Amino acid sequence: MAAQQRDYYEILGVARNASAEELKRAYRNLAKKYHPDINKSADSSDKFKEIQAAYDTLNDEAKRKRYDRYGVEGVNAGEGFAGAAGESPFGDIFDMFFGQQTGARRGPGTESVLRGDDLREDMELTLEEVASGVEKTIRFPRMETCDTCNGNGAKPGTNPDTCPQCHGQGQVRFTQNTLLGTFHSAQPCNRCRGTGKIIANPCGVCSGAGRLRKTRERSVKIPAGADTGMRLRLIGEGDAGERGGPSGDLYIVLYVKDHELFERRGNDLFTQAPISFARAALGGIIQVPIVNGVEDLKIPEGTQSGQTFTMRGKGIPDINGRGKGDEHVVVHVQVPTKLTAEQREILKQFAATMGEKTQETHEKGNILGRLFGHQG
């Protein structure tokens, strides 16, 4: 019995009415936790793929509606319905009952071609890179058309022969008599494996496959404002199709590394800045980090520990070009752990002006009281 599919909302840990921003936040946190480059546990790769599948479905409005109504099967069926213009969505249903070959469509007398597979590559980025945009070079393996035989699989100077069994159709048709009547159906030809061609003299380079695995190098422009989970599609950069079929696409899934100083929430950044007691009381200018440098921030008199200051437009650019986010600086007042004699005396004088008793004065008072409190 097949294992039961986990609920996508449960995988991401969100409610069924979660907003797009909540989905994105949940995905980003889980992706960082289970990304195979960081999490070295044996099942991290499977968990990451499960998280990716859940987010890809729920982040797409049409897929999410089908999932909510029909589950995973409804999503998969919906993708199968996206056929060529004028093609009946009920074709797959008839195929299940009557054995019609699905996949690449072909008419009588035409050679069967198959589209190449789509590929996926993960790309790791720093916060600094996505703050300004960056161009990166990737290397990835893919199937490419054999240059020696131009993809037909035959030795140079020869051509594939027409299959004598299916006469180049790639399919063998037969008739079925059932209780519902007589039906005509077809199955892939087992001699030419549905290609319609027989290669008597295969290419010595690709051994008749028509394709070879090679390493491809491409430059990719990452737009400013990119975030974990975003995908870039490079059309035609996937595997080459069989027998001259069109190439698939390459999908680059982005992953932004955690930063030691900043926490990203959408396009806003959050950071912390330590300040001295004197600076908090007197106010003044402090330097705080921004994503690509440092900047002055004015601290007013009487600043309290935990107080947040907002620096407008110092966050991450919006990927759609709608300005920049903000940077939020949370200040923390640091209490010195060691004081010189001079510093201690100054603080005592300050405490006295505030009407406070120092711990030392309080302890001396208690001792004198215990010594002389009962004397008349």
Q: Using one digit for the tens of pLDDT, what is the confidence trace for 32-56?
A: 888 877 777 888 888 888 898 899 8
For the whole prediction, is pTM greater than 0.85? no
Tokens 């294992």 belong to 3
pLDDT above 70 for 320? yes
Question: Which amino acid appears at position 63 of this protein?
Answer: K
Q: Tell me the average pLDDT of the chain.
A: 82
Any idea what DSSP says for residue 108? T
Give percent of the chain with pLDDT exceeding 70: 82
Is pLDDT larger for residue 365 or for residue 246?
Answer: 246
pLDDT above 70 for 351? yes
Residue 179's pLDDT is 62
pLDDT band at 113 (very low <50, low <70, confident <90, very high): low
Cβ proximity of 32 and 229 under 8 Å = no
pLDDT band at 360 (very low <50, low <70, confident <90, very high): low
What residues pair up with 232 in beta bridges, in sequence order? 252
Instruction: Report CA dihedral (45, 46, 48, 49) to the nearest 10 degrees.
Output: 120
Give percent of the chain with pLDDT exceeding 90: 41
Cβ proximity of 280 and 303 under 8 Å = yes
Query: Rounded to an integer, what is the distance from CA 188 to the centroid of its chain?
Result: 38
Cβ proximity of 301 and 281 under 8 Å = yes
Any idea what DSSP says for residue 265? E
pLDDT above 50 for 104? no
pLDDT above 90 for 181? no
Query: Which residues are CB-neighbours of 110 under 8 A, at least 6 positions away?
Result: none
Residue 88's pLDDT is 37
Residue 105's pLDDT is 41
CA angle 270, 55, 257 (to 5 degrees): 40
Encode pLDDT of 268-304 as tens digits: 999 999 999 889 999 999 999 999 899 999 999 999 9
pLDDT above 90 for 67? no
